[in-house]
Amino acid sequence: MHHVKSLLARALNVRPLLLAGGVLGVVYYGWSAGGPSAAEQPRVVPPPVVATRDRSKIQTAVFAGGCFWGTQGIFQHVNGVLSATAGYAGGSAETAVYELTETGSTGHAEAVRIVFDASKVSFGTLMQVFFSVAHDPTQLNRQGADVGPQYRSTVFPQTKEQANVASAYIRQLDQSHAFSSPIATTVEAGKTFYKAEDYHQDYLVNNPTQPYIAFVEQPKVDALQRLFHSVWREEPLLEAGRRG
């Protein structure tokens, strides 16, 4: 994700591929060199074999998988999610700002903090959504045209149990060949989440006609509705006005 003036040029580059190859396939895999076949479509990957035992009602999860505009927009439509906040994870408080993170040198990834009601949606289901429609977990330090470690695929576990379940789930997906390429997702424990600037919050909802949103991110939300209708929330849960 780059500044808005460069998004228009990039959108023009991907739009012909979208029209020629099919919206979902191109958006999901970005037609990037070394990525999976563009013929593959977003689909529901198998759930984790090992379910979380923690039944505490209110829990937190942090995921990173490319531009946080889209990741936030997806989880805002998941029933049981109480908040989805765009931010940074993996680096220090001093570098948790957009301009520094976008250099790719801070250790941060663009991430989303999800507070959820575990009695309504499980951590396992959130991981299913993350690996199925939110991004391509086989791309290393990139998502499509967004290149750099700030766009890496990462689970930032908030508990030891989440760390164990996430690591086991990655092994499960690799062993079952759920994807045509090995999963590049990392599990990085002990990292603090920092909320992003206000103008990044609810960006997908507030900018539906912006080319990057319309052609790259909104189709992922559409795929969520189609593939995860059992947890689909029609009205997005917005971050605007929320503290913290």
Predicted confidence (pLDDT) at residue 128 exceeds the cutoff of 50? yes
Residue 143 has pLDDT above 90, yes or no: yes
Residues annotated as catalytic are 67
pLDDT of residue 241: 66
152-177 burial, b at 16+ Cβ within 10 Å, e below that, comes to: bbbbbbbbeebbebbbebbebbbeee
For position 95, what pLDDT does the model report?
A: 98
Contact 42, 22 (CB under 8 A): no
What pLDDT, on a 0 to 100 scale, did the predictor assign at position 59?
Answer: 97
pLDDT digits (tens, 9 = 90+) for 28-57: 333 233 333 333 468 899 999 977 777 789
pLDDT digits (tens, 9 = 90+) for 169-216: 999 999 999 999 999 999 999 999 999 999 999 999 999 999 999 999
Identify whether the C-beta of residue 3 lies closer than 8 Å to the C-beta of residue 101.
no
- pLDDT tens figures, 89-107: 999 999 999 999 999 999 9
Q: What is the pLDDT of residues 178-189, one digit of tens each?
A: 999 999 999 999
pLDDT of residue 198: 97
> Residue 30: its pLDDT value, please?
37
Q: What is the mean pLDDT of the chain?
A: 85
Average pLDDT over every residue of 7-20: 36
Supply the pLDDT for residue 41.
61
Residue 3 predicted with pLDDT over 80: no
Query: In this predicted structure, what is the pLDDT of residue 87?
Result: 98
Looking at residue 244, what is its pLDDT?
56
**What pLDDT sits at residue 200?**
98
Residue 4: the pLDDT is 43
Domain 4-43+54-231 falls under CATH 3.30.1060.10:
yes
Task: Domain ranges for the chain, please list them.
Answer: 4-43+54-231
Query: Which pLDDT does position 243 carry in this prediction?
Result: 59
CB-based contact 128:47 (threshold 8 Å): yes
The predicted pLDDT at position 43 comes to: 81
Model pTM score: 0.85
- Output the pLDDT for position 54: 73
Separation of alpha carbons 53 and 5, rounded Å: 46
Quote the radius of gyration of the chain (alpha carbons, Å): 16
Q: What is the mean pLDDT of residues 80-86?
A: 98
Structure tokens at 197: 């600037």
Stretch 74-89: mean pLDDT = 98
Distance CA 77, CA 89 (A): 22
pLDDT at 153 over 80: yes
